[in-house]
């Protein structure tokens, strides 16, 4: 009580100054050391005990942990300020919010710059400092963390900066989840820390509320299921860092690939294989709903009713995170016996075609709003319309398809859930993306294997 009051006093004296130890309960006497930094409401560091060179580059890990390095280099964590999508949006944010735009994005996308207070422009090109910073969410940023941050990023117009990290870099210690690590290697000390098995190690980056708008809420979605939250049974790591018998995957697959490379580029192929297997059982669908199930017989010159439901089997919404950029949808086609379509829903001819947003199609996505306008960057958002398939939700629908007179014998109904990381309309709607139409060619579409169903129906 006394300590809390004391902290409150300090915080209120220094109006806009925040410290990464301001929310810790000091009385708990946790043994874990960490380095302190203080920042103002624009995210400028006032002082920091951390030097950028305290973090090591991944090439220092290469010799002994080659698989970890190779996989992580394919991840969005490694590319988090170098992805073309980020660069475009970042330039835009810096222009429209010149005071804090820069610091707002780096607090998650380039946390080493954030905790050391550096700006990218201050780093000499080709220097070690620049190499380390450019590895973004790299080995040493995660493996020098000692304590959990229990807080999501919650920001408003007065302060867009809120991230808190507890790192102890520069001491030659790597923390991890190996219960009894071999501490004798010549390069670093290894220390077991239980936070590496805890989902909250992925905070504060994977949960963000801006001006009361819950824009990217992966962690909260996940935690809304008590089975996840209380027991941590389905940790983020269990799916995104699965164990292969020797080590934990470090590819951190979601659904993004490198849009500047063609789909058949070797690195994209590796990512696509990993994404496809992540998605395999993410959703299941049925030709029935709580009212009805599909009939085995139908009549020509009549309308066929197709009751349908899709169930989210993963541990957060589909899509989640930057769901305003993403689209998941149901494709359903009714074919005649020559395999020609009679009715189509959610079909597109090429990867870069727009989906039809109308009352006949099921599409899961979200829209960030700035008043009446749809915006595509979190920093512009005042509200969100979230139309994703919620965690544990079973979404029900009725399709109808008119079967023409000449159809005989039988028809077949096929359906699947599809997902793509980027909605093509982003490139047309947001002026910042107008020059980048060539990236559209490389947008992948993934099918969720266990959502594929089909049914033959006989025609009377």
Residues numbered 334 to 353 that lie near ligand HEC (CB under 6 A) are none
Q: How does 94-130 read in b/e, with b if 16+ C-beta sit within 10 Å?
A: beebeebbbbbbbbbbbbbbbbbbbeeeebeeeeebb
User: 214 vs 455, which CB is nearer to ligand HEC?
Assistant: 214
**Rounded distance, CA 329 to CA 263, Å?**
21
Among 6, 8, 187, 297, binds ligand HEC (CB under 6 A): 187
Q: Is residue 181 within the footprint of ligand HEC (CB under 6 A)?
A: yes
Give the nearer residue to ligand HEC in terms of CB position, either 265 or 295: 265
Is position 20 an interface residue for ligand HEC (rule: CB under 6 A)? no
Compute the least distance from the CB of residue 51 to ligand HEC, in Å: 15
Q: For ligand HEC, which is the closer residue by CB, 62 or 293?
A: 62
* Of the candidate residues 24, 93, 217, 457, the single one contacting ligand HEC (CB under 6 A): 93
Pairing of strands 297-298, 446-459: parallel
Asked if residue 147 binds ligand HEC (CB under 6 A), the reply is: no
Q: In whole angstroms, how close is the CB of 459 to ligand HEC at the nearest point?
A: 37
CA 179, CA 361: separation in Å to the nearest integer? 49
Here's the x/- map for ligand HEC, 52-71, by CB under 6 A: it reads as: ----x-x-xx-xxx--xx--
Q: Helix, strand or coil for residue 201?
A: helix
Per rule CB under 6 A, is residue 104 in the interface with ligand HEC? yes
Radius of gyration of the chain, Cα coordinates, nearest whole angstrom: 25
How many C-alpha atoms does 196 have within 13 Å on its Cβ side?
18
For residues 47 and 117, give the distance between their C-alpha atoms in angstroms, rounded to a whole number: 8
**Nearest residue (beta carbon) to ligand HEC:** 321
Helix 84-96 and helix 101-109: axis angle, to 10°?
Answer: 150
The answer to whether 386 contacts ligand HEC (rule: CB under 6 A) is: no
The answer to whether residue 205 forms part of the interface with ligand HEC (CB under 6 A) is yes
Helix (H) or strand (E) holding 303, with range, is strand 302-312
CB of 97 to ligand HEC, least distance (A): 8
Interactions with ligand HEC, residue window 283-322 (CB under 6 A): 314-316, 318-322
Phi–psi pair at 376, nearest 5 degrees: -120, 10
405 touches ligand HEC (CB under 6 A): no
Footprint of ligand HEC on residues 111-130 (CB under 6 A)?
111
Q: Does residue 377 have a cis peptide bond before it, meaning omega lies within 30 degrees of 0?
A: no
Among 7, 36, 46, 191, contact with ligand HEC (rule: CB under 6 A): 191
User: Which residues inside 241-280 make contact with ligand HEC, applying CB under 6 A?
Assistant: 241, 247-248, 250, 252-256, 278-279
Residues 30 and 27: their CA atoms lie apart, in Å, by 8
Q: Which is nearer to ligand HEC, 289 or 377 (CB)?
A: 377
Check binding of 146 to ligand HEC (CB under 6 A). no
By CB atoms closer than 10 A (0-12, 13-18, 19+), residue 332 is buried
Region of 7-15, 19-27, 205-213, 403-411 interacting with ligand HEC (CB under 6 A): 205-213
Neighbours of 252 (CB within 10 A): 20
Phi, psi of 420 (to 5 degrees): -135, 150
Q: Smallest distance, Å, CB 338 to ligand HEC?
A: 35
If the CB atoms of residues 209 and 407 are measured against ligand HEC, the closer one turns out to be 209
Considering beta carbons, is residue 38 or 135 the nearer one to ligand HEC? 135
């Amino acid at each position: 009580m006394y300590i809390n009051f004391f902290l409150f006093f300090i915080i209120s004296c220094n109006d806009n100054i925040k410290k990464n130890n301001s929310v810790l309960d000091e009385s708990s006497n946790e043994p874990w050391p960490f380095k302190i930094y203080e920042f103002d409401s624009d995210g400028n560091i006032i002082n920091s005990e951390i030097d950028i060179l305290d973090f090591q580059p991944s090439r220092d890990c290469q010799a002994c942990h080659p698989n970890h390095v190779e996989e992580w280099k394919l991840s969005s964590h490694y590319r988090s300020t170098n992805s073309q999508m980020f660069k475009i949006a970042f330039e835009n944010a810096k222009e429209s919010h010149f005071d804090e735009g820069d610091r707002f994005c780096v607090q998650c996308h380039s946390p080493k710059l954030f905790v050391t207070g550096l700006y990218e422009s201050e780093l000499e090109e080709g220097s070690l400092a620049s190499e380390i910073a450019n590895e973004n969410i790299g080995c040493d940023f995660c493996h020098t963390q000692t304590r959990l941050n229990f807080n999501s990023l919650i920001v408003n117009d007065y302060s867009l900066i809120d991230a808190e990290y507890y790192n102890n870099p520069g001491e030659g210690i790597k923390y991890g989840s190996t219960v009894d690590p071999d501490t004798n290697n010549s390069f670093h000390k290894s220390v077991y820390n239980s936070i590496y098995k805890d989902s909250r190690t992925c905070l504060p980056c994977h949960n963000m509320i801006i001006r009361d708008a819950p824009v990217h809420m992966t962690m909260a979605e996940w935690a809304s299921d008590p089975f996840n939250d209380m027991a941590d049974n389905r940790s983020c790591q269990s799916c995104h860092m699965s164990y292969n018998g020797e080590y934990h995957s470090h590819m951190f697959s979601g659904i993004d690939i490198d849009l500047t490379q063609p789909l058949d580029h070797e690195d994209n192929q590796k990512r696509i294989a990993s994404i496809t297997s992540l998605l395999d059982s993410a959703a299941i669908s049925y030709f029935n709903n709580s009212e009805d199930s599909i009939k085995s017989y139908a009549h020509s010159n009549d309308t066929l009713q197709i009751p349908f439901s899709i169930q989210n089997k993963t541990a957060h919404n589909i899509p989640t995170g930057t769901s305003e950029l993403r689209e998941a949808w149901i494709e359903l086609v009714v074919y005649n016996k020559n395999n020609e379509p009679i009715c189509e829903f959610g079909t597109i001819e090429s990867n870069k075609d727009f989906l039809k947003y109308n009352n006949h199609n099921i599409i899961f996505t979200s829209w960030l709003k700035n008043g009446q306008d749809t915006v595509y960057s979190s920093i512009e958002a005042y509200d969100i319309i979230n139309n994703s398939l919620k965690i544990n939700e079973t979404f029900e629908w009725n399709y109808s398809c008119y079967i023409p007179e000449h159809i005989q014998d039988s028809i077949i109904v096929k359906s699947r859930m599809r997902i793509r990381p980027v909605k093509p309309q982003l490139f047309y709607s947001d002026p910042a993306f107008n020059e980048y139409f060539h990236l559209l060619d490389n947008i992948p579409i993934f099918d969720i294997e266990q959502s594929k169903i089909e049914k033959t129906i006989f025609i009377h």
